[in-house]
Structure 1
């Protein structure tokens, strides 16, 4: 994949950051406390286990990491005294000639997962409209939506979020990325930061799996036969023909 012109990676990186931003930015304000009551104490815990400030830090940190990689690409593509200083600043763990940011198959796979996940997530926002919240809640006059992505699996937004999370990790920390090539992960502090960030990304799917069961139970109780009929037509929760 190294034969690709390096500058091609810049719009791909921007697209990755945008897809991540869409995936983890709530399309609606948080629901009222009364709208969350139907999920009980467990629902409250699962809703607040990844609070808004954590999402904002993750989103802003991702933009920062991708901006650093874009600057390194520009400095590599247009050599000068200033670009050499920039590469030295952004790659403290390596000598300038050893910084080899490039497009790899790992990046392409991650990018496809991330962008596809972001697109599905956006489609879920559009399909659910005002009913979509990051917190577990049933809005006033809530309707059971069974069309669009929700006719394929019952929780497509969770599938999309997990795809985006895995894709982002591959894009920004895989072979050929700025984090991997700059030597940033060679230090204890760098490895610790990346480990915490990766652990948080892995933890989210675990919470989502717990939320799937809680959400199905609340929707079944709220909509009764309508939910049962939908579950018969859409038997899979996250992945068609698998789960």
Structure 2
């Protein structure tokens, strides 16, 4: 099961995220007047609940790249802004696009990204940490989706908020998702450097035959 500290963080984060979105949309009545947004909230809570059944943690393990902790602050700041601003611009009809069909597309993208984010967490088990760290008994996983891309969870991390932005028809939300590339790429580089130092030629060979996020592109 998920570590208590990680569970508290995930649960509190989910509540704050939804409260900000509902407030920005103009309150509960305004929010639930859009069925896709209700589905978005249900999906968000379901994915959060699903994370409680993983072994995700915040352990620094045997060795951690502490210099990479800045990305957690960046993720947090962009995340809070993304919770509020897309819903607010939706209510103000500022830089918005499409209608209810677009909202449903956003919900589908959000769910797909959430599943892609969560699935590798189940695969990695206790090796998955919110920090860039080598865990006790750490071994490379190179099968399944990891045989194609090295960072499927980070791809899900980008697709998930993109779906959120689309559900609120928010151009600014999409821009915020693009900004997530900065800490995400920083995180990937730090993680790959640590894994290379730990596993040497084994990781070098794995890296040579796979892509980081998008097969054949990056």
Partner of residue 204 from structure 2, selected from 208, 228, 234: 228
Cα deviations by residue, 1:9-30 (Å, 9 ceiling, x for unpaired): 3663344423664799885231
Q: 1:19 to 1:240 in 2, by over 3 A?
A: farther
Kindly tell me the number of residue pairs found equivalent between the two proteins: 177
Q: 1:162 to 1:20 in 2, by over 3 A?
A: farther
In the alignment, what sits opposite 1:207?
A: 183
Cα distance in structure 2, aligned partners of 1:117 and 1:138: 25
In the alignment, what sits opposite 2:213?
A: 238
Question: Would you say the 8 A contact 1:47–1:136 is kept in 2?
Answer: no
Cα distance in structure 1, aligned partners of 2:108 and 2:36: 13
What are the within-5 Å matches in structure 2 for residues 104-143 of structure 1? 104=101, 106-143=102-139
Cα distance in structure 2, aligned partners of 1:207 and 1:116: 21
Question: Would you say the 8 A contact 1:22–1:118 is kept in 2?
Answer: no
In the TM superposition, residue 240 of structure 1 has moved relative to its aligned partner by 1.1
In the alignment, what sits opposite 2:195?
A: 219
In the TM superposition, residue 225 of structure 1 has moved relative to its aligned partner by 1.9
Question: Would you say the 8 A contact 1:20–1:114 is kept in 2?
Answer: no
In the TM superposition, residue 201 of structure 1 has moved relative to its aligned partner by 4.1
RMSD after superposition = 3.8
What are the within-5 Å matches in structure 2 for residues 153-192 of structure 1? 153-171=149-167, 173-174=168-169
Question: Would you say the 8 A contact 1:35–1:140 is kept in 2?
Answer: no
| TM-score, length of structure 1 as denominator length | 0.58
In the TM superposition, residue 146 of structure 1 has moved relative to its aligned partner by 1.4
In the alignment, what sits opposite 2:71?
A: 46
In the TM superposition, residue 207 of structure 1 has moved relative to its aligned partner by 0.5
Larger Rg: 1
Cα deviations by residue, 1:158-203 (Å, 9 ceiling, x for unpaired): 11110001110111x217xxxxxxxxxxxxxxxxxx96x7765443
Partner SS, residue 142 of structure 1: coil
Question: Would you say the 8 A contact 2:127–2:135 is kept in 1?
Answer: yes
